[in-house]
Amino acid sequence: MNKGAARLNEVKASKIRAVSDKANALEALGRSIIRFSTGEPDFATVSSIKQATIQAIEDNYSHYASNRGDLKLRKEVSELVKCHHGIHYDPSEEILITSGGSEAINHVMLGLINPEDEVIVCTPAFLSYENMIHMAGGIFVDVPLKKENGFQLDIEEIKEAITPRTKMIIINNPCNPTGAVYDPVSIQALCDVCIQHDLLVFSDEIYDQLVYDERKCRSIAAYPSMKQRTIMMNGFSKAYAMTGWRLAYLCADKELIEPLLKVHQYATTCAPTFIQVGVAKVMNNETTRKEVQEMVRCFDQRRQKVIRVLKEIPELDFVIPQGAFYVFIDVSKTGLDGQQFADALLEEKGVAVVPGNALGSQCNDFIRLSYATSDENVMMGMQLIKEFIKEL
């Protein structure tokens, strides 16, 4: 008897986890592995946040918080979003604190997607979208983005994918895995499409502070008439190096937040109280801001090192990433597809990357390389990739 619920039938195991498992197995045999496969900062959590949270534990913030999240944290989130995007979200009813971005995605799908609703996802994309759409009983509609367009939004293809059953479009800006920051003209065009077809937008902005070359990432919610149809998600995992803390937030109009609150109330009750209290105390102060900026500066230096080496390898094609901490690389000129490349690189050189087929249906020729690892690893890993290709 298949004991799993039928709603999980189309939910697939993560191929990224398969890469980690292989890397772990090699490490257990004594091999040293450079992990360009990991989607999390190698830095320690911002120290001001650590200190404030230790204090919150000492001060006994160990009871339930409000289902919406600690009010002081919601106020600070509101201030941050206002400062970065110029949009006001009312802390009392337009912000919901969640246990990480993944939980936020879960709440949005369970709270807003009905069985048979279609949800458009521009791919390659973070795996949770497709799988959470399936878990909610929705229909995942894949719109592949193209390297030739710099992995920018393809508005004509998005328009073609819309049917009377389309309820939502998901965008992730800056994008994991392409590093693209969507250009404002295409975002405006997307807004026009969403308004014309009365669609919701789920905007995952978890990398919005990690942008380079003086770029700015303005939320789609800040475009005219978009706040009322956008659910914005952001969190602390990436920019504050807090992946294990599990803290994120959703911002939207009251009518959109209410169903998400219902899911959150029964699924989680609240994110850990002392974490919320600690983060609220310092997240917008100067010390925290400077620590985040310093991490962004380090990511940028690594990004530039990676780009420099990639440019020396004619067999590898890529679009220069402008945000997040990934490069999406076309390896087809090596004669291998992304899966073969990733498997052989790990086996022969001990360098772990994610095959593109884990992230998009049209990405068999690609690998994702994350430069969220130490400077030494970046330098050594890139040299090993160079060697690997020479020896092919």
- Contacts with ligand PLP in 18-37 (CB under 6 A)? none
39 binds ligand PLP (CB under 6 A): yes
- How near is the Cβ of 250 to ligand PLP at its closest, in Å? 12
- How near is the Cβ of 125 to ligand PLP at its closest, in Å? 8
- How near is the Cβ of 122 to ligand PLP at its closest, in Å? 12
User: Segment near ligand PLP (CB under 6 A), from 19-27, 95-103, 144-152, 345-353?
Assistant: 95-103
Owner of token pair 């990639």: 310
CB under 8 Å to 250, separation ≥6 — which residues?
Answer: 95, 96, 98, 104, 107, 108, 231, 232, 233, 257, 260
User: Segment near ligand PLP (CB under 6 A), from 3-11, 100-108, 133-141, 159-167?
Assistant: 100-108
Q: How far is CA 355 from CA 210, 285, 335, 358, 372, in A?
A: 23, 39, 15, 6, 17
* Cβ atoms within 10 Å of 82's Cβ, excluding its own: 12
Output 44 or 392, the one with its CB closest to ligand PLP.
44
CB under 8 Å to 258, separation ≥6 — which residues?
Answer: none
Output 43 or 388, the one with its CB closest to ligand PLP.
43
| Site pattern 244..263 for ligand PLP (x: CB under 6 A) | ----x---------------
Output 35 or 349, the one with its CB closest to ligand PLP.
35
| Site pattern 112..141 for ligand PLP (x: CB under 6 A) | --------------x---------------
- How near is the Cβ of 175 to ligand PLP at its closest, in Å? 8
> 137, 133, 116: which is closest to 125 by C-alpha?
133
Output 109 or 336, the one with its CB closest to ligand PLP.
109
Rounded distance, CA 311 to CA 26, Å? 30
Q: Residue 169: beta bridge partners?
A: 120, 201
Rounded distance, CA 304 to CA 284, Å? 28
* Cβ atoms within 10 Å of 38's Cβ, excluding its own: 18
102 binds ligand PLP (CB under 6 A): yes
Rounded distance, CA 159 to CA 63, Å? 48
| Site pattern 200..239 for ligand PLP (x: CB under 6 A) | ----x-x----------------------------x-x--
- Which residue has its beta carbon closest to ligand PLP? 101
The pair of structure tokens assigned to 236 is 């602390």
279 binds ligand PLP (CB under 6 A): no
172 binds ligand PLP (CB under 6 A): yes
- How near is the Cβ of 106 to ligand PLP at its closest, in Å? 10
Q: How far is CA 303 from CA 4, 58, 213, 384, in A?
A: 42, 39, 11, 17
* Cβ atoms within 10 Å of 364's Cβ, excluding its own: 15
Half-sphere exposure for 111 (CA within 13 Å, toward CB): 25
The single residue among 69, 91, 100, 272 that binds ligand PLP, judged by CB under 6 A, is: 100
179 binds ligand PLP (CB under 6 A): no
Residues within the interface to ligand PLP (CB under 6 A)? 39, 100-102, 126, 172, 176, 204, 206, 235, 237, 243, 248
